[in-house]
């Protein structure tokens, strides 16, 4: 892409780890990036990343870049304000976002990490009329939001129309987009992938051996991850006389209620709450566990499951988007219908055998290594940026 850059937008206050990792990898592969973000992303020390932000210091330092472009837009911005029904206060807030985007230079492709507001789509079309837009479809925005947010289908329709390409994080998400009216010619699946050089298995024989089944789950503690079902799973295993404990890595708005529920169910002594941890700490915890548990009701493609599988952990899970793409289900039949605690417990029971877990460890870790290498998928993303630039 010569001296041109890809502009990443939509990261807001904090970037999810899987997006941070993708940006870091793209930069290491030589792609020049401009990232709209109020700060610096972790693990991204490459000089090929340029940051722009809404902070006053950033805006003052780039004044010669954006001021002329902004002044040219002023007449249009007034009609844009009226079209989208913004009051003065909201309009001024939006103008700050507009100015921050206008700092970007030499842009070949704009990549929005989530679906955008209709007003933002209109702005990008006006400010960057010749620059193609890619939008990522990651999960809840095409599964949960259309059913729960008034007017969201219209937002999706605008994104499907104005984007040159819709990046889908899984085949299941692509199906959602098709059902919601996206043109198949614009849809393209690219897995985030994981660092298979980092998330590697240890032999099950080297894991701590005792008569307690060690379960683990990693992720934000929010409603759609379904952690309450993991508590009910522990309760069911107790009824069956199967000794088990659960380690939960992550933090989020639902943690207080979840801890209280664990106490009410008499499970507090069986659960370790580790909070948010570094990747190396997550890896250590995965290497100490026997089984990974996923109880999500909605996903795009669960990266934490991929990381656990790469470490050789058998997965027991409720069926949701992406899981049957991640796992070799013909040899790993432990994906059960959502909310079926009895089936989840039966899957656990089937994996008590160390020999069974050792067999599955080899199967699933090799599958992830072959199909979900992050560098391979990042390279395919760079190729797609190039195609989109010259389309």
365-390: per-residue pLDDT in tens? 999 999 999 999 999 999 999 999 98
The Cα–Cα gap between 351 and 364 comes to 14
Confidence at residue 358, expressed as pLDDT on a 0 to 100 scale: 87
Binned at pLDDT 50, 70 and 90, residue 57 comes out as confident
379: Cβ contacts below 8 Å, ≥ 6 apart:
29
151-171 residue pLDDT tens = 999 999 999 999 999 999 999
Confidence at residue 219, expressed as pLDDT on a 0 to 100 scale: 95
pTM of the model: 0.93
Is the model's pLDDT at 45 over the cut of 70?
Answer: no
101-112 residue pLDDT tens = 999 999 999 999
Please name the fold of domain 5-193+374-389.
Rossmann fold (3.40.50)
Is the model's pLDDT at 46 over the cut of 80?
Answer: no
What value does the mean pLDDT take over residues 336-359? 94
- Report yes or no: 131 and 108 within 8 Å, Cβ to Cβ: yes
Token pair listed for 134: 């890619």
Is the model's pLDDT at 141 over the cut of 80?
Answer: yes
| Homologous superfamily (CATH) for 204-371 | Glycogen Phosphorylase B; (3.40.50.2000)
The Cα–Cα gap between 166 and 186 comes to 6
Helices (H) and strands (E) in the chain, counts: 17, 13
Residue 132 phi, psi (nearest 5): -70, 150
- Report yes or no: 249 and 282 within 8 Å, Cβ to Cβ: yes
Confidence at residue 354, expressed as pLDDT on a 0 to 100 scale: 87
* CA-to-CA dists, residue 135 to 186, 187, 350, angstroms: 10, 10, 41
Binned at pLDDT 50, 70 and 90, residue 204 comes out as low
> What residue spans in the chain does CATH classification 3.40.50.2000 cover?
5-193+374-389, 204-371
Sign of CA dihedral 82, 84, 90, 93: negative
- Report yes or no: 217 and 294 within 8 Å, Cβ to Cβ: yes
Confidence at residue 58, expressed as pLDDT on a 0 to 100 scale: 77
Confidence at residue 260, expressed as pLDDT on a 0 to 100 scale: 98
Binned at pLDDT 50, 70 and 90, residue 179 comes out as very high
The Cα–Cα gap between 331 and 177 comes to 29
| Residue % of the chain over a pLDDT of 90 | 77
The Cα–Cα gap between 374 and 205 comes to 28
Binned at pLDDT 50, 70 and 90, residue 310 comes out as very high
Token pair listed for 275: 């909070």
Is the model's pLDDT at 243 over the cut of 80?
Answer: yes
Q: Which of 138, 143, 144 is nearest to 167 (CA)?
A: 138
What value does the mean pLDDT take over residues 270-278? 96
Is the model's pLDDT at 178 over the cut of 90?
Answer: yes
196: Cβ contacts below 8 Å, ≥ 6 apart:
310, 368, 369, 372, 373, 374
Is the model's pLDDT at 65 over the cut of 70?
Answer: yes
Binned at pLDDT 50, 70 and 90, residue 290 comes out as very high
Is the model's pLDDT at 33 over the cut of 80?
Answer: yes
Is the model's pLDDT at 192 over the cut of 90?
Answer: yes
Is the model's pLDDT at 189 over the cut of 70?
Answer: yes
The Cα–Cα gap between 285 and 208 comes to 11
What value does the mean pLDDT take over residues 187-207? 87
Confidence at residue 205, expressed as pLDDT on a 0 to 100 scale: 64
* CA-to-CA dists, residue 358 to 46, 129, 314, angstroms: 39, 55, 9
The Cα–Cα gap between 8 and 5 comes to 10
245: Cβ contacts below 8 Å, ≥ 6 apart:
212, 213, 214, 215, 234, 270, 271, 272
């Amino acid at each position: 892409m010569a001296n041109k850059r890809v502009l990443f937008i939509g990261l807001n206050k904090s970037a999810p780890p899987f997006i941070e990792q993708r940006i870091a990898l793209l930069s290491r592969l030589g792609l020049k990036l401009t990232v709209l973000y109020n700060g610096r992303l972790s693990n991204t020390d490459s000089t090929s990343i340029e940051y722009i932000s809404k902070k006053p210091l950033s805006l003052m330092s780039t004044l010669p870049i954006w001021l002329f472009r902004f002044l040219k837009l002023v007449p249009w911005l007034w009609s844009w304000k009226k079209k989208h029904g913004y009051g003065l206060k909201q309009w001024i807030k939006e103008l700050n976002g507009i100015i921050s985007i206008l700092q970007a230079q030499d842009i070949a492709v704009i990549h929005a990490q989530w679906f955008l507001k209709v007003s933002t789509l209109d702005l990008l079309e006006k400010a960057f009329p010749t620059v193609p837009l890619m939008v990522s479809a990651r999960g809840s925005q095409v599964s949960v939001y259309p059913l729960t947010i008034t007017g969201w289908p219209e937002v999706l329709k605008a994104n499907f129309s104005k984007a040159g390409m819709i990046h889908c994080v899984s085949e299941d998400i692509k199906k959602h987009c098709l059902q919601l009216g996206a043109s198949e010619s614009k849809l393209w699946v690219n897995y985030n992938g994981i660092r298979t050089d980092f998330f590697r298995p240890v032999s099950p024989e080297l894991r701590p051996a005792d008569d307690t089944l060690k379960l683990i789950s990693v992720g934000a503690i929010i409603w759609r991850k379904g952690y309450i079902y993991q508590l009910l799973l522990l309760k069911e295993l107790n009824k069956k006389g199967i000794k088990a404990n659960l380690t939960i890595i992550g933090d989020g708005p639902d943690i207080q209620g979840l801890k209280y529920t664990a106490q009410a169910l008499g499970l507090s002594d069986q659960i370790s709450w580790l909070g948010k941890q570094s990747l190396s700490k997550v890896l250590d915890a995965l290497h100490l566990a026997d089984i990974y548990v996923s109880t999500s009701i909605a996903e795009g493609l669960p990266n934490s499951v991929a990381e656990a599988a790469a470490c050789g952990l058998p997965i027991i899970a409720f069926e949701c988007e992406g899981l049957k793409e991640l796992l070799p289900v013909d040899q790993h039949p432990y994906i059960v219908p959502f909310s079926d605690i009895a089936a989840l417990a039966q899957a656990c029971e089937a994996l008590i055998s160390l020999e069974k877990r050792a067999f599955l460890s080899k199967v699933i870790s090799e599958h992830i290594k072959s199909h979900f290498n992050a560098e391979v998928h990042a390279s395919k993303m760079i190729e797609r940026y190039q195609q989109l630039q010259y389309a």
